Amino acid sequence: MQKAEAIVLTGGSAYGLDAATGVMAWLEEQGRGVRVGADPTHVVPVVPAACVFDLGRGGDFRARPDAALGRAAVEAAAASAPGARVREGGVGAGTGAAVGPMKGGVGSASVVLGSGITVAALVVANAAGSVMDPETGVLYGELFQGRVDYPEARVHEAARRRLAEIAAKNAPPLLNTTLAVVATDADLSKAQAQKLAGTAHDGIARAVRPAHLLNDGDTVFTLATGQRALDAEHPLALNELLAAGADMVTRAIVRAVRAAESVSGPGGEWLSVRGVVRGSVTGVVGRALGCEPPRRRAGARSVPRRRWVRCASAGWLISCGDCPGCVTRWRSARSQGTRPAMDALFVHALERITHIT
């Protein structure tokens, strides 16, 4: 076969492959597929499919994609405009995805090479290994994207403790799987496409450690639209695509975990990257400012409302406890240009506070 009509990435383990049935049914109605009879409607759509193992993570083992959901997905894809923004995070096949003790999801990345050829990747990050270096708190994948900002030691240690507590509560994952599609507008032979899929696995190994374990069924598909020819004068012209494919997979995994939101339910709790950092710096900032945690006042029905400071630079809400002194110090620091002894991660934010609620 030289042509695929669609590729299905789904959750639900082998049960979720039923989603491909719905995709094939819709394609058949459109007359798309390999013609196998005299009647033009006699077609068999070629639809490669792969699934991640996420059974039970939502609390219900029987909650998984089916043919109806697959049909809805292909209809939505067909209705979207070319170049439409791809939703990322805990959506689609990434709904139940996890990477180690943290929330995984869907991510995408693309690049236009100097030759004008585009290489893109779509990833469902759902690995047994971790995306975060336990010694530094930095995402492995970001080490390949230029200079990184290392979290302050206290913030990192608080994050490690929080992740360890949650991991101890969750049941250890039995199986995982990271899925990826690497697509290009280059004209590739089947052998070249297979080579591109193979080297794209390097992108998984850069962003997840350890990677490709026995309980990881990692799979990469390659698609080539054939719109741009490789430079026939250079027999190694494929090399830049091979390097870019792996790079895009790494970037897509980083984007997947960065876009994911924390999830807590009957099936367990998985913190997102943002959730780990936000929860850890909250306590550190509060302690650095000398704030006391909110307490129930005598005769009060509930704990006083926390005061929050919005940091326009970091994009986070920083809670320092429910004490008027905390807000007073922030306002004073902003007006006088002084910097209270607080975590270095937020020193840059003092002049960027937009409002206090």
Task: Tell me how far apart the alpha carbons of residues 45 and 34 are, in angstroms, rounded to a whole number.
Answer: 6
Region of 228 on the Ramachandran plot (φ > 0 left; ψ -120 to 50 alpha; else beta)? beta
Q: Cα(229)–Cα(45) distance, rounded to whole angstroms?
A: 27
Token pair belonging to 173: 């994952």
The whole-number average pLDDT for the span 2-6 is: 92
Mean pLDDT across the chain = 80
Instruction: List, for residues 51-107, the tens digit of each pLDDT value.
Output: 999 998 888 999 999 999 999 999 999 999 988 899 999 999 999 999 988 899 999
CA distance 132 to 150: 12
Residue 230 confidence (pLDDT) above 80: yes
Task: Retrieve residue 217's tokens.
Answer: 């069924």
Q: Which of 216, 189, 213 is nearest to 125 (CA)?
A: 216
Cα separation, 354 vs 130, whole angstroms: 35
pLDDT in tens, 117-162: 999 999 999 999 999 998 888 899 999 888 888 877 777 788 888 8
Residue 280: is its pLDDT beyond 70? no
Which band of pLDDT confidence, cut at 50, 70 and 90, is reported for residue 298?
low
Residue 204 CA to residue 252 CA, distance in Å, equals 10
Per-residue pLDDT at 307 exceeds 60: no
Identify the helix (H) or strand (E) that includes residue 71: helix 67-79
What's the pLDDT at 351? 31
Is residue 6 scored above 60 in pLDDT? Answer: yes
